[in-house]
Amino acid sequence: MQQVVVHGGGVAAAMAALAVGRAFSRLGTDIVWVDTGEAPAPHTALIAPPDLATFHRLLGIDEAALVRHAAAAVNIGQQFAGWSGGDHGFLHAYGDAGSAFASLPFVQHWTRARQAGLGVALEDFCLAAAAAKQGCTGAPPEAATRQAVKQGWHLDAAGYAKLLRAACKRADVRIVSGAGVVVRREGDRIERIHLADGTSVGADLFIDTHGALAASLDPDGTSARPSFCDRIIRASAPAFDPLPLYSRIAAHAAGWLTLIPLSSRMAIEFAYHSNILSDADAPAALAAAMGRAVEAAPPAPLVAATRPRPWVGNVVAVGPAAGVAAPLDGAELLLLQLTIAQIVLLWPIDRAAMPEADIYNEEMTGSRARVADFTAQHFRLNARIGEPFWDAARTAPVSAELAAKIDLFAARGMFAHYDHEAHVEDSWALVMAGHGVTPRSFDPQALLTEDQALMAEFQRQLRAVASDVLAMETHAERLRQIRG
User: What pLDDT sits at residue 62?
Assistant: 94
Q: Are residues 49 and 166 in the same domain?
A: yes
What digits encode the pLDDT tens for the residues 14-24? 999 999 999 99
- Determine, yes or no, domain membership for 244: yes
User: What pLDDT sits at residue 448?
Assistant: 95
User: What pLDDT sits at residue 264?
Assistant: 96
Query: Residue 1's pLDDT band (boundaries 50, 70, 90)?
Result: low
User: What pLDDT sits at residue 181?
Assistant: 84
User: What pLDDT sits at residue 178?
Assistant: 85
- Determine, yes or no, domain membership for 324: yes
Query: Residue 50's pLDDT band (boundaries 50, 70, 90)?
Result: very high
- Determine, yes or no, domain membership for 479: no
Domain finish residue from 324, 349, 370 = 370
Half-sphere exposure of 196 (CA within 13 A, CB side): 8
What number is the average pLDDT over the span 450-465?
Answer: 96
Q: Are residues 391 and 458 in the same domain?
A: yes
What's the full length of the chain, in residues?
484
User: What pLDDT sits at residue 153?
Assistant: 96
Query: Residue 3's pLDDT band (boundaries 50, 70, 90)?
Result: very high
Range of the domain at 167: 3-74+155-223+304-370
Query: Residue 79's pLDDT band (boundaries 50, 70, 90)?
Result: very high
Distance of CA 320 to the CA centre of its chain: 14
Q: Are residues 467 and 387 in the same domain?
A: yes
CATH number at residue 211: 3.50.50.60
- Determine, yes or no, domain membership for 292: yes
Q: Are residues 351 and 430 in the same domain?
A: no
- Determine, yes or no, domain membership for 40: yes
User: What pLDDT sits at residue 85?
Assistant: 83
Distance of CA 15 to the CA centre of its chain: 15
Q: Are residues 16 and 131 in the same domain?
A: no
Q: Are residues 36 and 130 in the same domain?
A: no
- Determine, yes or no, domain membership for 445: yes
Rounded CA gap, 373 and 203, in Å? 36
- Positive or negative, the CA dihedral 99, 104, 107, 112 is negative
User: What pLDDT sits at residue 183?
Assistant: 87
User: What pLDDT sits at residue 325?
Assistant: 86
Q: Are residues 116 and 195 in the same domain?
A: no
Rounded CA gap, 112 and 453, in Å? 13
User: What pLDDT sits at residue 5?
Assistant: 97
What number is the average pLDDT over the span 362-385?
Answer: 96
Domain finish residue from 301, 322, 355 = 301
Average pLDDT across the chain, whole number: 94
Rounded CA gap, 462 and 468, in Å? 10
Query: Residue 120's pLDDT band (boundaries 50, 70, 90)?
Result: very high
Least confident of 77-91, 129-143, 304-318: 129-143
- Determine, yes or no, domain membership for 79: no
Percent of the chain residues past pLDDT 90, beyond the cut: 85
Q: Are residues 48 and 170 in the same domain?
A: yes
Does the pLDDT at position 304 exceed 70?
yes
What is the tally of structural domains in the chain? 3
- Determine, yes or no, domain membership for 81: no
Residue 385 sits at φ, ψ, to 5 deg, of: -90, 140
User: What pLDDT sits at residue 56?
Assistant: 93
What digits encode the pLDDT tens for the residues 402-441? 999 999 999 999 998 999 999 999 999 999 999 999 999 9
What number is the average pLDDT over the span 119-136?
Answer: 96
What number is the average pLDDT over the span 462-483?
Answer: 94
